[in-house]
Amino acid sequence: MTNILITGANGQLGLTFKNIQKKYTNYNIFFAEKKILDITNLEKIEKYLVKNQIDAIINCAAYTQVDKAEDEIELADKINYTAVKYLAELAKKHSIILVHISTDYVFDGTSKNPYTETDKTNPQNCYGKTKLKGEEAIQEINPVNSIIIRTSWLYSEFGNNFVKTICRIGKDKDKIQVVSDQVGSPTYAKDLAEAILTIIPKLKNENTEIVHFANTGSCSWFTFAEEIIKISNIACVVEPIKSTKFKTKAKRPNYSLLNTNKIQNTFGINIPNWKISLKKCLIKMHEV
């Protein structure tokens, strides 16, 4: 039996793991949210890991409020960098597998091709910068059997996310406007969680690996919203607008499509198209 610690247990990825854990009888999963375990406290983390004989950590904890991070840089840095550094140090010290979730926002969005794991990073906002610092900390400490998984546009039946927001406002309004010039790929949290639990026993790497995971295919936020409205049979018109007309405090990448060939080829994972996974999620949300 492998003992797994999932940090950020009340976030949408953490809640997704809780929802699917019964299918994975070879794992004994510990769910830790902030009240149970403060991952910015090195001593507390170490005590928890030793006491519960943790074999693998899946770090889902993150400061993800992109615009707010511009004002709360220290807090974002503490969660996205310092805490990650502590987890990496302890993973190395106690020979624990470390799976860390990162983001497409480590890129600047100027590419015209899907980003590979070796492409140059150049984050354009504080959130992206702190997430990149977390990645670099893991690579520098280099615990054995550690992997960084960059993902994008995460959604699920849980927590707050784009899919739930569009469903909610689509029911209240006749017409909504959504940005059409930012392109990427949505990621259904269930697909990501299942992929992670599949690859954990296969992690046999000396140096920290980076892989990308997102559902296959690509879309803009506008196209994504249109598909949500269409599948859900909501009577609302979605109109495209340019990102310049939709002001946000933090700059977003215009293009953040992730190339997922590496994770598929290395671990034999088949990733569904984003439209297929979106329909599955909406069915679970009773929107279809």
The pLDDT value recorded for residue 82 is 98
Query: Which position among 63, 86, 127, 155 bears the catalytic label?
Result: 127
Give the 3-state DSSP-derived string for the chain, with helices as H, strands as E and coil as C.
CEEEEEECCCCHHHHHHHHHHHHCCCEEEEEECCCCCCCCCHHHHHHHHHHCCCCEEEECCCCCCCCHHHCCHHHHHHHHHHHHHHHHHHHHHCCCEEEEEEEHHHCCCCCCCCECCCCCCCCCCHHHHHHHHHHHHHHHHCCCCEEEEEECCEECCCCCCHHHHHHHHHHHCCEEEEECCCEECCEEHHHHHHHHHHHHHHCCCCCCEEEEECCECCEEHHHHHHHHHHHCCCCCEEEEECHHHCCCCCCCCCECCECCHHHHHHHCCCCCEHHHHHHHHHHHCCCC
Domain ranges across the chain:
2-160+187-216+257-272
CATH fold of 2-160+187-216+257-272 reads Rossmann fold (3.40.50)
Mean pLDDT by 10 residues, the chain (288 residues): 97 97 96 94 98 98 96 97 98 98 98 97 98 98 98 96 97 96 97 98 96 98 98 96 90 96 97 98 86
- Please give the pLDDT value at position 288: 53
127 is catalytic: yes
